[in-house]
Amino acid sequence: MEATATAARALARRLLPGPWTRTRLLKEAAVGVQLAGSCVLIQLNTDHGLLPTVLSTLAVLVLGLLRMAFPATVLVIAGALNGGIVDGATPLLVVASWSAGWRIERPRNAVAAFAATFAVQTALTVHTNPWVFSLARDAAFVSVYFVGVAVVPALIGRYRAQRRMLLLTLHKHNSQLLRERELIAGQARLRERHRIAQDMHDSLGHQLALIAVHTGALQVDPTLSDRQREAVGVLRDASGLAMHELRDVVGLLRDDTQDVRADRAELHGVAHVDAVVDASRAAGATVELRRFGRARPLGTAGDQVAYRVVQEGLTNIHKHAPGAPVTVTLRYEPDSLLVEVANGPADDAARAAAGSAVSGGAGLRGLEERAGRVGGMLHHGPASGGGFRLAAVLPYGEEDGAYGGASGGTDGGAGAPADATFVAAEGDFRRQTGVGALGDGGPVIDRSQLSEEYNAVMSTRKNTAIGCAAVCVIVVVGGLALLGWGAMKLFEEVDKATISEDTYRRIELGSSLDDVESRLPEGSDLMTGEYESEGPAIPKGATCRHFMSSATKENLEKELVYRFCFREGKLVEKQSFEVKL
């Protein structure tokens, strides 16, 4: 049973290839209604009866469904039906030709299928239409007809298929090129990070190692007092901590995984602010640490930014305002953590003793970028009572960028909650950048510049599409021109084969052949050849000429025919009779 169901499903997939999306179902339904409707209307109009109409309609519907699975076979059968077997099969031939142009990929197969269809349709047309007299002229008419209802739809279908293939190929190549450029950009960033890590290790690592060795030796100098030995110990601990942090940063630059970044970021967070404050106090600074509100967790990157704000603030105070009182504040607001490092006016004597400090402002700019990446903001500037103030607002959350600070507008508060905490009256949101991983600026890709490979592929495919479109235009224009020429010739043949009733009455029996021919048009075997076997019997030994009436027909199913019969150069009979069309 299961094997039978599997075989049935396989057969259904073969006969009705997918995918069957909602759009395709609607299209197939519309095509089926059009095919069935046209077939029913034409069949009923020609009085074929109910049963032939039902059978013809079912055959057209089945062939319409099978045209995607068997395009060549359905095309040949549609040509045969349109040749005279089934009235109203022209829409089926148009649809089958379009599907064949779309589905048959090899040109030789398509040419063979359409040649076979043309041969079958022409043969059946000649066989089922007794009015055909001139085979050459009728073949020309059938050729023009076949071009209009079969070749042109096939070319349109082929053009759409090649256009779809072109777009898919371009999309595939474009995606591949972008992936390659992302890989190249990632490798370039990785090489640059390795270079920076090596330079930091070779320069800063060496200097910090020397500081640690010399302070270690100085700490055991017996000539130092206890206070001096304690200060040297603080310096040694600071250099050791700096070496550990440098090792972490170098490892972070050398490692390109996010997991290692997160693990190392946990080494320095809000929980380690006490250690930084204690180190500054040991160095002789007066630092007060304040906490307000219920502690809440920050994201991994946000936690590290809070630590770096305190560290940078205390470092700048040691360099630029030695001896000034310092206040470090951690305020847990409802929506974010406020980290603030503020100092009072500096001691002039201590500043003179410390000398001028080297500063490039890179630390504060780096903090602004860090705060912006996690959805926060940073403010720094002179305090109202003298001194300097550094403050940051960092959102809560387990994931970086949960606050969505990158959506902030240029007005300083667009995109922020109504109760958001601000560290300055204006300008802070303007310095925020897009949300992303800390230290990762994203791949550097210039999508506006396409590579030579992409341009070459695009040029080749574009030329193919242009060539197909040009052939389609040439065929359509040629077909229309040929159709116009055929219509003009048809009108000429009609003029040659029609006479008025007055002309028929004026011609008298016994008139000479030359006199009668001077009054009659040239005649057309194409239009009147089928009437040779119609009407009364032809007089023995006479040759007859047939003409159609130019009078307006009251009955479209019948044609009035005039016949003139000659024998021995004299008009021996003239007859008028009606034939059924």
CATH number at residue 541: 3.30.1450.10
Co-location of 438 and 351 in the same domain:
yes
Identify the pLDDT of residue 391.
Answer: 93
Co-location of 528 and 382 in the same domain:
no
- Residue 323 in any domain: the answer is yes
Identify the pLDDT of residue 408.
Answer: 38
Name the domain boundary from 88, 103, 132. 132
Co-location of 429 and 519 in the same domain:
no
CATH number at residue 359: 3.30.565.10
Co-location of 537 and 396 in the same domain:
no
- Residue 84 in any domain: the answer is yes
Co-location of 416 and 501 in the same domain:
no
Identify the pLDDT of residue 464.
Answer: 60
Per-residue pLDDT band at 256 (split at 50, 70, 90): low
Distance CA 122, CA 94 (A): 16
Identify the pLDDT of residue 534.
Answer: 83
- Residue 203 in any domain: the answer is no
Per-residue pLDDT band at 129 (split at 50, 70, 90): low
Distance CA 392, CA 376 (A): 7
Cis peptide before 19 (omega within 30 of 0): yes
Domain of residue 541: give its range. Answer: 497-580
The β-bridge relationship of strands 543-549 and 498-499 is: parallel
Co-location of 426 and 527 in the same domain:
no
The pTM is what? 0.44
Q: Is 276 in contact with 311 (CB distance < 8 Å)?
A: yes
Q: Taking residues 471-488, report their average pLDDT.
A: 71
Q: Is the pLDDT of residue 289 over 90?
A: yes
- Residue 194 in any domain: the answer is no
Question: Tell me: the pLDDT tens digits for 414-445?
Answer: 344 444 454 543 433 333 334 344 344 444 44
Co-location of 398 and 540 in the same domain:
no
Q: Taking residues 159-167, report their average pLDDT.
A: 87
Hey, what are 177's tokens?
A: 């090129």
Co-location of 296 and 423 in the same domain:
yes
Q: Is the pLDDT of residue 175 over 80?
A: yes
Question: Tell me: the pLDDT tens digits for 435-475?
Answer: 344 344 444 444 444 455 555 555 655 666 666 666 667 76
Q: Is 86 in contact with 93 (CB distance < 8 Å)?
A: no
Co-location of 324 and 416 in the same domain:
yes
Cis peptide before 345 (omega within 30 of 0): no
Co-location of 438 and 346 in the same domain:
yes
- Residue 507 in any domain: the answer is yes
Mean pLDDT, rounded, of the chain? 76
Cβ neighbours, 10 Å, residue 545: 16
Count structural domains, the chain: 3
Identify the pLDDT of residue 48.
Answer: 64
Q: Is the pLDDT of residue 524 over 60?
A: yes
Task: Between 505 and 212, name the one with better pLDDT.
Answer: 505
Residues β-bridged to residue 548: 498, 561
- Residue 529 in any domain: the answer is yes
Q: Is the pLDDT of residue 341 over 90?
A: yes
Hey, what are 41's tokens?
A: 């209307």
Co-location of 409 and 508 in the same domain:
no
Query: Exposure of 189 by Cβ count < 10 A (0-12 exposed, 13-18 middle, 19+ buried)?
Result: middle
Identify the pLDDT of residue 255.
Answer: 65
Co-location of 309 and 415 in the same domain:
yes
Name the domain boundary from 132, 157, 178. 132
Distance CA 535, CA 576 (A): 8
Hey, what are 257's tokens?
A: 């995984």
- Residue 202 in any domain: the answer is no
Cβ neighbours, 10 Å, residue 86: 23
Name the domain boundary from 132, 166, 192. 132
- Residue 398 in any domain: the answer is yes
Per-residue pLDDT band at 326 (split at 50, 70, 90): very high
Highest-scoring range by mean pLDDT, 206-215, 260-269, 333-342, 396-405? 333-342
**Block residue for tokens 């592929």:** 457
Distance CA 228, CA 433 (A): 46
